[in-house]
């Protein structure tokens, strides 16, 4: 029989049950335990109930997240349908789309490169990783993706990753080195101006 104390929750719970049952059946050998068999079994019951509740809560969270995704997709479909209708309804006066917070389509106008990515910051960080966040440009063409670059002081910029979202996990980053990061919005027309820099030391 192993004397190493278990590490996983299921192994600890199994050992607790074994100890409680052993104390109950071998009371003459263990007459005065610090925690009686009854108390130990009660604590095990409390843990099992909490564990069951935690699993149920996790399942409920996953279900709720799936419902949110479905609701967002339904909302997007509805908004797009209204915008398509609105573009047709006021096609001779496209400026009226501004009332819906929508920019009129520029028929035949060339795509412009994005503007400057804004407000880059460190959202969170760990031993060898950092999550960078930023805001999209307010001018120029719509970004197709973002290019994340980094460098050490005095060294040239190097590409460190890409993202289609305004946030990116930078994993496996070197430790103990001051690194500068910046983000550039890119689309088919070209690249925008680099963002301001943010300094990371892991």
> For the chain, which domains are there?
1-109 (no CATH), 118-201 (2.60.40.10)
Res 174: pLDDT: 82
- Find all residues with CB under 8 Å of 136, minimum gap 6, and list them: 114, 117, 118, 143, 166, 185
Whether residue 191 contacts residue 184, with contact meaning beta carbons closer than 8 Å, is answered with yes
> In the predicted model, what is the mean pLDDT of residues 152-158?
91
Q: How far apart (Å, rounded) are the C-alpha atoms in residues 122 and 141?
A: 26
> In the predicted model, what is the mean pLDDT of residues 64-90?
84
Q: How many CB atoms lie within 10 A of CB 91?
A: 13
Res 127: pLDDT: 84
Phi and psi at residue 47, in whole multiples of 5°? Answer: -60, -45
Task: Kindly state the percentage of the chain with pLDDT values over 90.
Answer: 34
- pLDDT higher than 90, residue 101: no
- pLDDT higher than 90, residue 133: yes
The residue among 160, 157, 150 whose CA lies nearest residue 201 is: 150
pLDDT band at 109 (very low <50, low <70, confident <90, very high): low
pTM for the full model? 0.47
Q: How far apart (Å, rounded) are the C-alpha atoms in residues 127 and 149?
A: 20
- pLDDT higher than 60, residue 2: no
Cα 118 to Cα 11, 31, 90, 114, 145, distances in angstroms: 50, 70, 33, 12, 14
Task: Kindly state the percentage of the chain with pLDDT values over 70.
Answer: 95
Residues paired with 39 in a beta bridge = none
Cα 27 to chain centroid distance, Å, stands at: 52
Q: How far apart (Å, rounded) are the C-alpha atoms in residues 149 and 159?
A: 4
- Find all residues with CB under 8 Å of 107, minimum gap 6, and list them: none
Q: Is 147 or 68 the better-scoring residue by pLDDT? A: 147
- pLDDT higher than 70, residue 132: yes
């Amino acid at each position: 029989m192993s004397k190493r104390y278990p590490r996983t929750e299921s192994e600890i719970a199994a050992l607790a049950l074994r100890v409680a049952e052993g104390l109950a059946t071998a009371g003459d050998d263990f007459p005065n335990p610090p925690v009686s068999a009854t108390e130990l079994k009660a604590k095990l019951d409390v843990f099992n109930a909490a564990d069951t509740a935690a699993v149920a809560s996790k399942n409920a969270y996953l279900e709720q997240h799936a419902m949110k995704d479905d609701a967002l997709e339904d909302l997007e479909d509805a908004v797009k349908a209204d915008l398509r209708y609105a573009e047709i309804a006021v096609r001779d006066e496209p400026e009226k789309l501004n009332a819906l917070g929508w920019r009129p389509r520029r028929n035949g106008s060339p795509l412009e490169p994005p503007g400057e990515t804004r407000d880059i910051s460190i959202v969170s960080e760990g031993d060898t990783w950092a999550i960078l966040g930023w805001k999209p440009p307010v001018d120029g063409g719509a970004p197709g993706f973002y290019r994340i670059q980094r460098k050490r002081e005095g060294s040239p910029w190097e590409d460190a990753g890409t993202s289609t979202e305004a946030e990116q996990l930078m994993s496996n980053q070197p430790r103990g080195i001051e690194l500068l990061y910046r983000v550039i919005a890119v689309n088919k027309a070209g690249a925008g101006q680099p963002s301001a820099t943010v300094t990371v030391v892991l």
